[in-house]
Structure 1
Amino acid sequence: MGRPRGFDEATVVQAAAELFSTRSYDGISMDELVTHLGVHRNSLYKTFGSKRGLYQAALSWSLEHHVNPLIDRIAAAGDLAGALRVAAAEPAAAVGLDLLLLAAVERAPVDREVADRLAAVLAAFDQAARAASGSEGAEDDLAFALTAALLGLRLRARAGTADTDIDRAGAALARRLTHHHQGA
């Protein structure tokens, strides 16, 4: 009989998600993961198989606990400006969006599984945006713009750009899109 696991897998996966949301996958060594997570290298390999396995678990955890709840809140926001404000409502959303952004630019181009998962998440964001705007039909341009604005604002905030006023951006986008929608 093997020795009982000396760590809580969920806690390790959450901590890994937080770490992977701050730096690139390739920029984090196994030594750093071992140190940051406080788990022996052999235990990590035995549990997750590889660094990629741990990354996949961390991405899954983040999508389930940070991104999917955010998508649900966006869908329930009731309007475009409110949908953008939702992203700023809690710090946990920032971790999820940061990992999503890093996964999109770094892992998705080289990892088909990550690319497929992110495509599904972006489609869910678009669907939530359609629900928030009250345009569940063919308003794909509106949903696409809202999703792009949400991720763009998170990217600006992550880059430390001073001008990331989500309320201002949400109101401006809502005015433009609503005006354009009404004029169509």
Structure 2
Amino acid sequence: MDDDNRICVGAIGGAFGVHGEVRLKSFTADPEAIADYAPLASEDGARSFEVQIVRAINQGFAARLSGVRSKEDADALKGERLYVPRERLPQLPDDEFYHADLIGLEVVDTGGARLGRVRAVQNHGASDLLEVQAPGTSSTVLLPFTREAVPTVDLASGRIVADPPHGLFDD
């Protein structure tokens, strides 16, 4: 499966219990919907899993994955990220984006000056933050992903136009 055609929808946090259940973190908008996109593929594409959500647990779900029968099988998958083909996911409204589509985009200010590239999208509870890596440095800035701070996302041209809060990026 082409990397550009896959979206990471979850990750395995290790075993949950002793009967082969896993701790499953969902990255989908409706967390329980992760099972609806199955089969989910491993990062290298070598394995594929059907998913059955057993119950909600702290920071995710206890889930059964096809082919995972023991605690040892489940522990061996700890840290594995799970992917689906993009076409299996729903189309988004114009003002919503998959995180995978934002990562790598160039960020410029409203005057066209380059601020950096999106390295990651983070969410610590309130709203999404774009982690922007400044040009020629390893330092990053967390830019609120709000309509005020990010008025334009142009996927076709690979650019984000930002109007960051004063002082966020050193002038």
TM-score range, shorter chain: 0.3 to 0.5
**Greater RCO structure (CA 8 Å; 6+ sep):** 1
TM-score, reference length from structure 1: 0.31
Q: Which has the higher helix share?
A: 1
